[in-house]
Structure 1
């Protein structure tokens, strides 16, 4: 009789139907292969027909098995979603999860959409809202309770913060004018920065600014700085050759500007961003979002977790050759031709 069929039998059947291998299916549902095999035989007995054709070399679905899988897949997903929603409501993974950051496209990296989709699929009672925040007020926003978490650039030694999973880990490049002497080089060194004027953004925490752009070269020479207060101010100053800008590889993709080119820098530490939250306000929603970050990045960018120094090159980062970026209007016109 079908009335007595249990959820574990359905899960075992769907796992074998997906994997077409009893060993892999057993790992997926946390049982032994022999237990999965017994469960499938019992289910076939209840239904009165074979669900799988088994040989010593392969496992395939029978027509009855295919029919059952097509009917069960959406029903099982709906059932699991309902159970997760009920559990999330009990645990507090419901409502709206607010995550803030300065410049989302640069700070969160290329996998933010996948992270949010993964989180919301796991926790359908909770929705994510991304807020872009001024760098100087992001911690106030978080501490006031308006937000649940931040994506911030490291380092940040605020004692009330927990620094969670790293979201980006990037090599360093230098933005220079296309006619700057550095533009003809394949790379520059940290020592070269003492011979030019670099940007300084005073609204950034000094701890972060000095880590992002060191005040002195490795040999101890002072690096000249010029205050810049916004990207709209920074980009033309670089294009005119008045300053150079020490940045990260993704900057070249997100902030193209006529007359700019980018050159790799040797001797400047890589730069990371990470998810962070107020330690005393940790809760199930934050834990669930942090887990979604880890799971997506472990699959899409495993080098972050494994400290692979070249992981961003695997994702199509800036080639280690100077490149002059075309005017965006010219590039758009070329793409339409």
Structure 2
């Protein structure tokens, strides 16, 4: 496979939309279709199921993606490290992270980065989700590791490094605390705490309430929940890093997973930033 064929296949497998894939790669939708047809002729079976309403991977396409993605990421990471070492990386990289899971990954990546680039320092810094992107734009941090989507004008999002299920955090005395799982539709029946670190919604809001409890940080969110003032959608890692006797975490049975990864100002991309992202990819794969 040629490099452009690999990139088109992987992008379409992730986007499952020809138009979005073309925009992501800077090519036309027609070009994406042409590359996919060439690959399918070479493989001998369809890699994607295509209808007027949806695109999906076939079993063969899914297996090819699972086999190809780690290898391609490894090649990109190796080239990034080689290029960075060739440029003689120096200076300091300021890395922001949101939450304990992202912080753990950042520390692992920082240790790997320092071994390969002893002349370049890493300064990890925890930030709150509500102002995390402001920190990037104000040049307070160089790269942020947080929960996707993290987008906006002038920002570049890197690959997803971590994936986890969504959970619903409820008071220990709540009826949902006694069930094995909840559904997206159940969100209509709970009062959700309002916070700038709220995850992307997966369903319409619950009962209308002009006096919703408001929190600024995850710890404040959990304190309000423990006091019986609402519920909140969190990632599965919260059950490990933020266990509390007054809060119960109930898994969703039908909600899409959460993805965590890096984002940085496009105009401020540097060799040391690219090298750090490459090490973060390897650290995430090693921890999986």
SS in 2 for 1:269: coil
Matched, 1:162 2:153: no
**How far does the alpha carbon of each residue in 1:91-139 deviate from its partner, in whole angstroms, 9 at most, with x for none?**
2521211101233x1334x433321111111111111110122333332
2:96 is matched with which residue: 86, 94, 100? 100
CA contact (8 A) 2:136 2:142 kept: yes
How has the CA–CA distance of structure 1 residues 142 and 213 changed in structure 2, closer, same or farther, with 3 Å as cutoff? same
CA contact (8 A) 1:153 1:274 kept: yes
Unmatched 5+ stretches in structure 1: 1-83, 302-337
Structure 2 unmatched ranges of 5 or more: 1-80
RMSD over equivalenced CA pairs, Å: 2.6
Residue pairs, 1:14-25, within 5 angstroms: none
Q: Which has the higher contact order (CA 8 A, sep 6+)?
A: 2
Q: TM-score with structure 1 length normalisation? A: 0.55
Q: Does 1:289 align with 2:284?
A: no
* Residue number in structure 2 paired with 1:139: 133
Equivalent of 1:273 in 260, 264, 273: 260
Distance 2:168 2:150 in 1: 23
Counterpart Cα distance in 2 of 1:273 and 1:158:
16
1:28-58 alpha-carbon deviations (Å, 9 max, x no partner): xxxxxxxxxxxxxxxxxxxxxxxxxxxxxxx
> Structure 1 residues 277 and 171, CA, compared in 2 at 3 Å: closer, same or farther?
same
Q: Is the 8 A contact 1:199 1:244 kept in 2?
A: yes
Q: Is the 8 A contact 1:101 1:131 kept in 2?
A: yes
Distance 2:254 2:208 in 1: 14
Q: TM-score, normalised by structure 2?
A: 0.63
Number of residue pairs the alignment of both structures matches? 205
Q: Say if 1:253 and 1:294 are closer, same or farther in 2 by CA, change over 3 A.
A: same
* Cα distance, 1:102–1:295 mapped onto 2, change above 3 Å: closer
- SS of residue paired to 2:94: strand
The match for 2:287 is 300
**Structure-2 separation of matches of 1:176 and 1:160:** 37
Is 1:216 matched up with 2:220? no
Larger Rg: 1
The answer for the alignment partner of 1:189 in structure 2 is 183
1:160–1:145: structure 2 CA closer, same or farther, 3 Å change rule? Answer: same
Deviation digits for residues 68-88 of structure 1 (CA, Å, limit 9, x no counterpart): xxxxxxxxxxxxxxxx9xx84
